[in-house]
Structure formats: structure tokens, C-alpha cells
Amino acid sequence: MTKHTRVLALGATAILFAACSGATATPAPTTAPTAAPASQATVSQAPASEPASQAPASAAPTPAAVKLQLQWTPQAQFAGYFAADKQGYYAAEGLAVTMLPGGGTIVPQQVGSAPDGPEFTISWVPKVLEAREAGSDLIDIAQVFQRSGTLTVTWKDSGLDDLCKLAGKKVGAWGYGNEFEETVGLLNNCGLTPGLENGGDPKTQYQQVTQNFDMVAFLKHEIDAAEAMQYNEYAQVLEAENPNTGDLYKPEDMNVFDWDDYRASMLQDALFVREAWLKQPGNRDIAVRFVRASLKGWIYCRDNPADCVQATTESGSQLGAGHQAWMMNEVNALVWPSPEGVGMMDPIAWNQTVQVAKGGKVIKSDPPTSAYDTSIVTEALAGIEGDAKGASYTKATVPVTPGGN
């Protein structure tokens, strides 16, 4: 079967690590593998005041110290939370927030599921659904990203302009749950499965190659297709020099497959809490205050993206300014518009996520209705003045910078 290929004519920027050299930068991955203690990245200070039960609305909120587990290292993917800190939104809610960076040894949904884990966790929905079947009690209380940012890319001159042509090819995938959309999408749309390297059928199988959290293997033509986040790894290619021309690569050099076009996309960054923690006295109020402040941060980043790039840098990001600007622009487009209000769950997108996850055997059965709770974000939105839907939002054009600098 043939699906259409959408080439994203996007401006770009790149990720730059201090250890990198040459024209191609190696950016921060979007997510990670195994659970381990996280170091503290950013701490916001709550104003000191005496706790008060059932205080009137005009009274200062009861102070609380909480932790937020990030999905990865500090980058514009989390700019709304950094902005909530820098703009004083957390402090205004009486919250002192410690942000815990993710990284190569951190699996957010595992860390967040631990009884003594952080109060709030950012993770992708299908990863948490999988964790719930293994015993986690994490609940989605704010669906910040309204749409997926996962792509699969091939080189235009390879002739791989149809996903089904990946039979018999080397297909890069990150693993650790990041590969779900690609694996399920190839199965559902083309009947293709991994396993070619184990004596599989080249007509119905492909070799799934563990891809590093960068595009080096793709740029070296070591793999035929690569997984890329629209706000991160895709830009790495555009920021790299084409050795045949001496210029940067262009969108037209690639075939870009957006999994949303193939009904294989699943919901990604959301805020999760443990159900057991939420049931403890006073914690629901803390959750409402935290969500309200965080959503204000995302509204601020929609309207002030340059400020949020700076806030991200001040929060510990080591990425190039150009790449951060690209990422901020693309992440905003995943959050906005939010038709029912930022952070509100779209039931259609939730149901698609569940069905895709089931079809790909990520989960065995439908999660209970308690797997997400819109009451907290509903209450949080009621306390936000101004535009919380972004109906008129349009994505800006961000120029590509060599190496993302």
C-alpha cells in the first residue's frame, strides 16, 4: 500500500555538545533507558508563610515543596516549566519546585512510580500505560502536548518514498518505548515486523537497528531510515553540512513520514502523579496549584518564545541557541492550539493512543477510566485569566543555523 509522504519545510537549528566537533552536532536525546537517582537541576523558592487549612481564596497558599521529574535533560521541550519558575508562577502558588533532569540512566515513568519518587513526572502516555500494566499507579492529570512529534525519515535519493518499501532495510529506532509509534505504524500500515537480522523474510521484515539519540548513523548512511523528533533530531540533519554540496541539508533532501498521517501517533508529554499520593490529604490542592502555574508557563512560552529559550538556558541546558529556538518553536506547535484549554485531554487522541498501543501489543487491554483525570486541569484552568486555548496560534519560521549555534 502507498501512503503519502509529507516533507516538512521547516526552518531549523541544532544541538551542540561541548564534546562535539565538525559540522554535525550531537544533541540531547529526548528520553532515556533505566531508572536511577536524578540530580537536582532547578529549585524554585516558595514564599514563607504559615500553613492554613481551608484558607480563604485571598489568603496565601499553603507552602509546599515538590519535585518534577523531567523526561530528559534541560531543553526547550520543558520550557513551560522553566518559565513557570522564572516568572514566579510556582512561588505565587506557594510552591518550591525542584526539577530533576532525566538522562541516559533515567526512565521517568519508573522513577515517578516509586512510592518515594517525585510528586510530578513528565512522560509519554503509552510508556505510562505500559508501566500501569506492570503495577504503576501513575495518572495523567494534564495532557500538555496535544499531538505527537515523532517522525521517520529516509533520504530522497534512496527511493524509499513509501513506508512499505522499508521491507528488507535497516530501520533505526531508539528503544525504551520511544520506538512504539514506528514499530506499530509499520505493522499496521504495511504488515512489516522487525527481525530480518534473525533470518527473517526480507519481503515482510526489516532490521531494527538500535539508534543512538542522534542522527549520526543516518548522516553516515549506515541506516536506511531513522527515527527523529520534529523538535530535535530532524533539525540535526538540517543543521549538518551536505558533503556533496558544501551547504546545509534541506528538507527536500529527505522523505519525512509523520506518524500522525498514518494513524499511528500516540500522545506524548503529559504530567503524571501517583494515585496513592493524590489521595493523601492536601495533595490534590497542591496538584491543582502546580498544574495551574505550569500551564501559565506554557502560555507565557507561546507568547514569549525568546524569553523561554533564555529561561531554558538559565535552567541548565547546554544546547546551542539556534537549536533551542528551533525546539521552542516546534514544541509550541505541539501544545498549541489546545481547543479545550491547555492541558486538557482530547478523548479522541486518548482513544487512538490506547488502540495503537493495544494493536502493537504495547499493552494488553484498555486502561481503566481512572488512568487520566481532567478534574484537576479543569480547576486549574478556571483560575487562569487570558487565552488558555491559543486558537489563533500560528507557528513561526525559525531559520536553520549551522550546528545549531
Q: What pLDDT, on the 0 to 100 scale, is given for residue 122?
A: 98
Which of 196, 185, 193 lies closest to 163 in space, CA to CA?
185
**Residue 180 covered by a domain:** yes
Ranges 94-98, 267-271, 315-319, 390-394: which has the least confidence: 315-319
**Residue 24 covered by a domain:** no
Q: Are residues 400 and 371 in the same domain?
A: yes
Distance CA 132, CA 150 (A): 23
Distance CA 197, CA 96 (A): 50
Continuous segment of H or E residues that includes residue 140: strand 138-142
Q: Are residues 136 and 285 in the same domain?
A: yes
94's torsion region: left (phi>0), alpha (psi -120 to 50) or beta?
Answer: left
Of 202, 234, 262, which closes a domain?
262
C-alpha cell at 162: 513509501
Continuous segment of H or E residues that includes residue 363: none
Which amino acid makes up residue 83? A
**Residue 120 covered by a domain:** yes
Instruction: Return the CATH number at 195.
Output: 3.40.190.10
Of 236, 262, 288, which closes a domain?
262
**Residue 37 covered by a domain:** no
Q: Are residues 222 and 240 in the same domain?
A: yes
Of 242, 262, 282, which closes a domain?
262
Residue 127: domain span: 42-47+61-147+268-404
Domain count, the chain: 2
Q: Are residues 232 and 280 in the same domain?
A: no
Is the pLDDT score of 6 beyond 70?
no
The model's pLDDT over 266-321, given as tens digits with 9 standing for 90+, comes to: 999 999 999 999 999 999 999 999 999 999 999 999 999 999 999 999 999 999 99
Provide the pLDDT confidence category of residue 42 given band limits of 50, 70 and 90: low
Provide the pLDDT confidence category of residue 19 given band limits of 50, 70 and 90: very low
Q: Are residues 273 and 366 in the same domain?
A: yes
User: Is the Cα dihedral 16, 18, 19, 20 positive or negative?
Assistant: positive
Q: What is the overall mean pLDDT for the chain?
A: 88
When pLDDT is averaged across residues 220-230 and rounded to a whole number, the result is 98
**Residue 4 covered by a domain:** no
Q: Are residues 367 and 289 in the same domain?
A: yes
